[in-house]
Structure 1
Amino acid sequence: MGYSNILTHAEKILCIYPNPVENTKSDLRNLIRERRSGSKSKFDFNLLITTDEFKSAQVIASYRSYGDEPETKDLNDSIIASGKKLLLPVLARDNSLTFRLWNGDSASLKLNGKVEEPIGTDFSGVIDLIIVPALAIDKSGNRLGQGGGSYDRALENFSGFSIAIINEDEFVDELPTVLTDRKVRAALTPKGLIRF
């Protein structure tokens, strides 16, 4: 898939921030959060489900969307229905993530701050595929997260397939990065799946 359709939407961000590298991540986060407010895009999760990486995965880590993040409920339901193990993140006090099995039962969730997390023990096996939230992704697969570094640490030693779910106008030419930032291998937008 070419970038032309997506980049025309991303140009709105780039008009405000013509060179994102010269601007702080904090400014970009605030801008994207403001633009996301109240908007909900439709995603074709079959674009992910039909990939070889998804088909061969036995254990998939995902997340429950929060606030104005792209909705992941249907995707998580599909993972469970396919017979794969679904893991959800649990945020520790030091801002690191662990993952726990979740069977889709909301009664097995507890509130941690503003996010519901699964009850139980941390998963210690191998994760084959990880689906991560993002505020933006650039052409090189660099990810702009919420700023805590939790997913960067989770991705640091992860060798499986990683994909972020973003709105169309959140796919940009270039993002500011630091040494601890971790790339994803793909991004899913309402228009399609982009590999890096």
Structure 2
Amino acid sequence: MTRQEEKRRLRRTIRGLEERLSPRYLEESGRAIAARLLAMPEYRAAGTVFCFAGIGREVDTRPILEHALAAGKVLCVPLCTGPGQMELRQIIDPARLSPGAFGILEPPADSPAVRSDEVDFAVLPCVTCDHAGHRLGRGGGYYDRFLARYRGGTVLLCRERLIREEIPVEPHDYPVPWVLTERGLYEDGVPARLG
């Protein structure tokens, strides 16, 4: 089996697991993950934050988006511009996000662009990951391309019940230093302290 086939199989497995998670667990784990993220010193110190806008069964990032804006941070979210291509765009109101490519919430097309080297802290999604930060995304390569050029602080948000320690990786897959679940923060695979 090729790495691509392994990834497709794992995505199907995780989607099946995700569908069986209770609404209560989704809500409680999402709330705990957001609270833990807001406590991270790296987030608190960041002037510019890049964060995905969670949809469906993803971690609800609205509390993060709203907190970043209320704290006076420059906040940017992804805007899909083509297959595998996204730009970082600044937002001032999460209510202005609307479904775009693949149903992902996106900013208006005229939102100001932000360069990746301007970002101090990035919050990324995944379908699943391991505690060491090897992520499995949806397969479009959007975040792999971002990670190839970004050098700032980065955290993956993943529910603990979706973590898998066997993630198929390829040379273009970049590990992320921090993984945040409802149970806590992991740095390079090791439980870390917040604050």
Normalized per residue, the structure richer in helix is 2
Counterpart of 2:12 in 1: which secondary structure? Answer: helix
User: For 1:156, which of 130, 136, 148 is the aligned residue?
Assistant: 148
2:37 to 44, 48, 53: 48
User: Which position in structure 1 is the counterpart of 2:191?
Assistant: none
Q: Which residue number corresponds to residue 47 of structure 2?
A: 58
Helix, strand or coil at the partner of 2:118:
coil
Match among 101, 114, 118 for residue 123 of structure 1: 114
User: Matched residues in 2 for 1:37 and 1:29: separation?
Assistant: 12
Counterpart for residue 169 of structure 1: 161
What is the Cα-based RMSD across aligned positions, in Å? 2.0
Structure 1 partner of 2:135: 143
1:59 alignment partner AA: T
CA 1:111–1:23 in structure 2 vs 1: closer, same or farther (change >3 Å)?
A: closer
TM-score by length of 2: 0.82
Return the letter of the residue paired with 1:82: A
Structure 2: gaps of 5 or more residues: 189-195
2:128, 2:99 → 1: CA distance?
26
Could you say if the C-alpha distance between residues 117 and 161 of structure 1 is closer, same or farther in structure 2, counting changes exceeding 3 Å? same
Structure 1 counterpart SS, 2:146: helix
1:35 pairs with 2:24 = no
Deviates more, 1:31-40 or 1:134-143: 31-40
Task: Say which of 58, 62, 68 aligns to 2:57.
Answer: 68
Deviation at 1:141, TM superposition (A): 1.4
What is the CA distance between 1:127 and its match in structure 2?
0.5
Report the equivalent of 2:71: 82
TM-score (structure 1 length as normaliser): 0.82
Conservation of the 8 A alpha-carbon contact between 2:123 and 2:156 = yes
- The 8 Å contact of residues 132 and 187 in structure 2, kept in 1 or not, is answered as no
1:50 maps to a residue whose letter is A
- Count of residues in correspondence between the two structures: 175
Q: CA deviation at 1:171?
A: 2.1
Q: CA offset at residue 61 of structure 1?
A: 0.3
Distance 2:4 2:149 in 1: 29
Tell me the percent identity: 26
Write the deviation string for residues 40-71 of structure 1: whole angstroms up to 9, x where unpaired: 13332332222221122100000111221111
Deviations 1:141-195 (A, max 9, x none): 1111111110010011111111111111222222110011111111111111111
Q: CA deviation at 1:134?
A: 0.5
The 8 Å contact of residues 23 and 176 in structure 1, kept in 2 or not, is answered as no
- Aligned-pair distance for 1:22? 11
1:48-100 per-residue CA deviation (whole Å, 9 max, x = no partner) reads 22222112210000011122111111121111111111100011113211111
